[in-house]
Copies of this chain bind each other. A is one copy, B any other.
């Protein structure tokens, strides 16, 4: 799923869900036809919340075009590499 929406990728982190909802809705209102939502670890649940809220409440003609899950390796500055699950959700108008 790489490169499908490089310029319209939103990384879900530790902010409140509605901050990311607003970011997605803003990009769509600015003309984006697709948005790629990415998250790792515990933020995965929030990525699903963001996608569902945008689709159900704000942009009802939005479709969930693709969902992918994967495992990524993180290399912290100290200590051993960590494996963490990741999700990508591609939203399309």
CA of A51 to CA of B64, assembled, Å: 20
Question: Which of these, B43, B56, B70, contacts A52 with CB under 8 Å?
Answer: B70
| Number of identical protomers | 2
Interface size on A, residues (CB 8 A): 20
Q: Are B69 and A68 in contact (CB under 8 A)?
A: no
Min CB gap A67→B, angstroms: 4
Measured CB to CB, the nearest residue on chain B to A51 is: B69
CA of A70 to CA of B53, assembled, Å: 10
Min CB gap A77→B, angstroms: 24
Beyond known contacts A42-B42, A64-B69, A67-B68: 15 more, CB 8 A cutoff: A42-B45, A44-B44, A44-B45, A44-B48, A45-B45, A45-B85, A48-B69, A48-B85, A48-B86, A48-B87, A49-B85, A52-B71, A67-B67, A67-B69, A69-B89
